[in-house]
Amino acid sequence: MIPKSHPRYESLMARELIVEGVRKGITSTQGLIAQGRGEAFDYLIGEKTTESALRAEKVAAAKLLLAKKPVISVNGNAAALVGFELIRLSELVNAPLEVNLFHRTEERVNKIMGHLRSLGAKNLVTKNDALIPGLEHDRAKVDRDGIFAADVVLVPLEDGDRCKALVGMGKTVIAIDLNPLSRTAQCATITIVDNIIRAVPNISKFAEELKELEQEQLKDIVMGYDNKQTLSLAIEEINKNLISFIGRS
């Protein structure tokens, strides 16, 4: 049992959720590596939601509310870490959840869907009857009425090649990625450089605040958003923290 007074409580609890996800067959063993890499970048941004990330989260909420056919892509780590929060966001922006995996097996897809249903998910797209152009192997499989037809896709913890392919299909891709230098972060339409356990609740909070606005008001929020600037600000934040760490050593 990890005491809440532990200074690394949230981080250690996230690790435990990923490990439990592996035990349940929801998360792949490769997901453990991805979690560790993300945690390292979370250290670098100060383990907090930065102003630039908060702005991207607000823009993401507005974009999801404006979408004609939004979809939320869910992988093993996302299901283990923020399954309930993704369901809440799905309901707020009327976006179905679609399980989409890099290390895909039908058994793991079914286990993730079962996990989401056990948490209360009702809006799921479940077929894999279409392929993302330009991708090889099972990672190209998507639902024809889900990600394939979507105009806006939220892809927490996404593979860079698949992110690029979705943008190539003309979709708005909202990525949650703690590494501002990753291929996913660099090619997404809106990149949220934040920990998924903070980012998804933040997007939901904004969606709740913004859902009564007119479309033109939502468009005003999105207008002028510059993803390259968001990434630059994230890198500046990392540099600032590194300099601060050096000064304390």
Q: Which residues are annotated as a binding site?
A: 15, 37, 177-179, 183-184, 195-196
User: What is the rounded CA–CA span in Å between residue 249 and residue 42?
Assistant: 20
CA triplet 4, 7, 11: central angle to 5 degrees? 80
Q: Which residues are annotated as a binding site for ATP?
A: 15, 37, 177-179, 183-184, 195-196
User: What is the rounded CA–CA span in Å between residue 4 and residue 246?
Assistant: 29
Token pair of 204 as six digits:
């939901």
* Buried b / exposed e along 89-112 (16+ C-beta atoms within 10 A): bbebbebbbbbbbbebeeebbebb
User: What is the rounded CA–CA span in Å between residue 109 and residue 43?
Assistant: 31
| In the block, residue with structure tokens 């630039």 | 52
State the pairing for strand pair 130-131/141-142: antiparallel
User: Which residues are bridge partners to 98 per DSSP?
Assistant: 73, 125
Question: Which of 168, 178, 121 has the alpha carbon at shortest distance from 140?
Answer: 168
CB 21 within 8 A of CB 12: no
